[in-house]
Amino acid sequence: MIALVGQSVLDRILWPGGRIEQRLGGAPVFASRALADAWPALVITQGADAELRQALRHTGLEVCEGPSERTTVFEVTLYGDGRWDEAITALGDPFTPRDVGTWMSRALANSSAVVCGSQWRDDFPPDTLAALAGGGRSVYLDGQGAARPRRLGPVRLDGPLDPSAVAGAHVLKLNEEEATTLLGGVNPAAPLAIGVPVVVVTLGERGAVVLADGVATEVGVEPVLGLADTVGAGDSFLALMAAEASVGATPVEATRRACAGVAKLLRDRLVAERLAGAPVMAAD
């Protein structure tokens, strides 16, 4: 069983042309859509409200919802060519070791891997990652949170990476900008330096690079061009990678299959955008 853990976020989307949409965001909603109907998985989340979280239940996966006093809120501006900017306007409650040992414990009991969709620095503190890794569970951590200081306003990445922030993770996913900020670039020696066995750097439409055992292995993918809304692609990727690894795929094999899976999801999203009449622009 794959446990998809992360904040349920309120996303306020500003589309090209002026349309404004409010929807459920955060790693769980995108990760659950990627695994629904194909992989044994469940969602563990907190934040937002019951009405907004209904989008999670539409995937058919079991959803474990915890108590929280605050909700993380993002304002996302889409530019129509796959690029987007975001600002944090409110921060939710972090996940704690106590959460792992109480309301999350039943859902985690049969989980062999945990996919942590971090949103900002310390929403998964080191003690929480260690608790999630208990019982031999593999921890897949989205490193975007480690690159985002706990502050409101436009998202501005901040490095270098403090290795203690990712202690306990077995796989760390970064995008290219995050890798530059946190690690100084796509460096084959990075996993050893930070104490994480595998680092995967996603490259958007160009695929990904797997850093492991002192080697950088490039993984290509057929690009999906002309998509306005690529939000959540990284969340889908990490969930698919964990799922593929759970059936014996090596990190490179799991990355290749995850890249292909995300490309399919994005092609389906592109079709939906065009049918809905959303503004779509060709990429340069």
CATH classification at residue 213: 3.40.1190.20
Total-model pTM:
0.89
Where helices occur in 10-87 by DSSP H, the ranges are 27-35, 54-57
Q: How confident is the model at residue 82 (pLDDT cuts 50, 70, 90)?
A: confident
281 within a domain of the structure (yes/no): no
Cα–Cα distances (Å) from 215 to 211, 276, 279, in that order, read 6, 44, 41
64 within a domain of the structure (yes/no): yes
- In terms of Cα–Cα distance, which of 236, 170, 177, 237 is closest to 207? 237
Whether the per-residue pLDDT at 199 is higher than 80: the answer is: yes
113 within a domain of the structure (yes/no): yes
284 within a domain of the structure (yes/no): no
67 within a domain of the structure (yes/no): yes
Instruction: Find the domain containing 134 and state its range.
Output: 2-276
Q: What is the pLDDT of residues 95-146, one digit of tens each?
A: 999 999 999 999 999 999 999 999 999 999 999 999 999 999 999 999 999 9
Q: What is the pLDDT of residues 21-46, one digit of tens each?
A: 888 988 999 999 999 888 999 999 99
282 within a domain of the structure (yes/no): no
134 within a domain of the structure (yes/no): yes
- β-sheet bridge partners, residue 217: 210
Q: Evaluate whether 258 touches 142 at the Cβ level (below 8 Å).
A: no
Provide the domain count of the chain: 1
Diameter of the chain measured on Cα atoms: 50
Query: Counting beta carbons within 10 angstroms of the beta carbon of residue 277, is it exposed (0 to 12), middle (13 to 18) or buried (19 or more)?
Result: exposed
Residue 110 CB neighbours (<10 A):
10
283 within a domain of the structure (yes/no): no
